[in-house]
């Protein structure tokens, strides 16, 4: 429970990039003891969401353009491998799973409006993750699926930076997920791989603009 709650809040940008994580304060925040909280922080450190410095405790892994570029490249490589294998191995049950995951995603609004800003709809977030997981579900490797999930978590930390931008919301309205589903079901591997590459790169570009804006704001 400690791991899941802290993971959700880090991914959702409830903590600032690089923020120090005081164990005692976290225990009080979640009503959880020291031992499970330390274990949760160690797990999140292995996931890359938390950084641990010798004798200086834990902090949220700092977000940067360099780290984003490395993460984006790795996501493209790993997702391509997983998607190629999934399309090659997928049966009718896999196809049905992909269609159902897309159907659930398409019925949900991406954002919840309120108080002059926009927050990602948590139900959409869950369906979005499930759709991407469904695409690679037939890859034949739980290790590969778990690694894709870990990279998805890391990417979400960046993606949530841009959730208040109306311009970005407009750009993201194109139904890229349907295009990916159609290509995968048609067994058009090259097209599916290219679509997911563009999807990952497009999101990274939007986030990079947000990081630049935040850096400029800090300088001013």
Render pLDDT for 162-199 as a digit per residue (tens, 0 to 9).
Answer: 654 434 444 445 589 999 999 999 999 999 999 999 99
Last residue of a domain, one of 60, 82, 101: 60
Task: Give the global pTM.
Answer: 0.79
65, 21, 63, 69: which is closest to 41 by C-alpha?
A: 21
Tell whether 73 and 50 lie within a shared domain: no
Over the Cα atoms of the chain, what is R_g?
A: 18
> C-alpha 116: how far from its chain's center?
24
Task: Give the tens place of pLDDT for each residue, 33-71.
Answer: 999 999 999 999 988 889 887 667 899 988 888 989 999
Tell whether 34 and 78 lie within a shared domain: no
Please tell me the total count of domains within the chain.
2
Tell whether 69 and 54 lie within a shared domain: no
Rounded to 5 degrees, φ, ψ at 29 are -60, -40
- State the DSSP H helix or E strand holding residue 162, giving kind and residue range, or none if neither: none
Tell whether 26 and 92 lie within a shared domain: no
Tell whether 54 and 108 lie within a shared domain: no
Last residue of a domain, one of 60, 75, 98: 60
Residue ranges making up the domain that contains 149: 65-219
């Amino acid at each position: 429970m400690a791991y899941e709650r802290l993971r959700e809040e880090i991914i959702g940008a409830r903590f600032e990039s690089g923020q120090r994580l005081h164990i005692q304060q976290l225990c009080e925040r979640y009503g959880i003891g020291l031992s499970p909280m330390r274990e949760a922080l160690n797990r999140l450190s292995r996931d890359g969401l938390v950084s641990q410095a010798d004798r200086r405790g834990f902090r949220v892994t700092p977000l940067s353009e360099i780290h984003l570029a490395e993460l984006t490249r790795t996501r493209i490589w790993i997702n391509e491998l997983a998607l190629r294998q999934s399309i090659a191995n997928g049966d009718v049950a896999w196809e049905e799973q992909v269609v159902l995951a897309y159907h659930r995603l398409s019925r949900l609004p991406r954002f919840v409006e309120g108080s002059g800003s926009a927050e990602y709809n948590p139900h959409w977030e869950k369906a979005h993750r499930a759709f991407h997981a469904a695409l690679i579900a037939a890859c034949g490797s739980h290790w590969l699926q778990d690694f894709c999930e870990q990279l998805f978590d890391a990417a979400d930390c960046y993606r949530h930076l841009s959730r208040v931008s109306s311009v970005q919301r407009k750009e993201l309205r194109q139904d890229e997920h349907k295009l990916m589903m159609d290509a995968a079901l048609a067994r058009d591997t090259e097209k599916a791989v290219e679509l997911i590459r563009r999807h990952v790169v497009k999101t990274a570009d939007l986030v990079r603009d947000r990081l630049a804006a935040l850096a400029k704001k800090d300088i001013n």
